[in-house]
Amino acid sequence: MTADTGVTVEAPAITVTIFSKNDCTNCTNTEKQLDRRGVPYREINVQEDTAPREEFGGRTPFEHVVETYGRQMPVVVVNDHARIDWWAGARIDKMLDLVKQFDEVGQLIPEDQRVAR
């Protein structure tokens, strides 16, 4: 994006975090869909990652998710640095919107570099 000053300013990266748990079909399916479509994300398994984290105010990922978003999994948190959006459960509509958002800013992973699941 170019401002009136002629200086090129890069749009901030969109970040996606998926909070998942073991034996969660919706979690696995969400990750597969995002992998297939080239959306990069960070996964945090709330059952395996049990250490408190500074980024969650000293809470564990599980405590953070339950207190902030509820218990339905997965929880997908999208931060585009202008706002934070999130959803819980299997939401193909939200995933497709996310793919479109990543495509618009050129952040999709190239097809030849995507994870095959």
Phi-psi region at 42: left, alpha or beta (left = phi > 0; alpha = psi -120 to 50) = beta
Q: Where are the domains of the chain?
A: 15-102
Weakest-pLDDT range from 18-32, 86-100, 102-116: 102-116
Show Cβ contacts of residue 44 under 8 Å, excluding neighbours closer than 6 positions: 17, 18, 19, 20, 61
Confidence (pLDDT) at 102: 92
Taking a C-beta distance cutoff of 8 angstroms, is the pair 16, 108 a contact?
no
Q: What is the pTM of this model?
A: 0.84
- CATH of region 15-102: 3.40.30.10
> Average pLDDT, whole number, for the chain?
89
112: pLDDT strictly greater than 80: yes
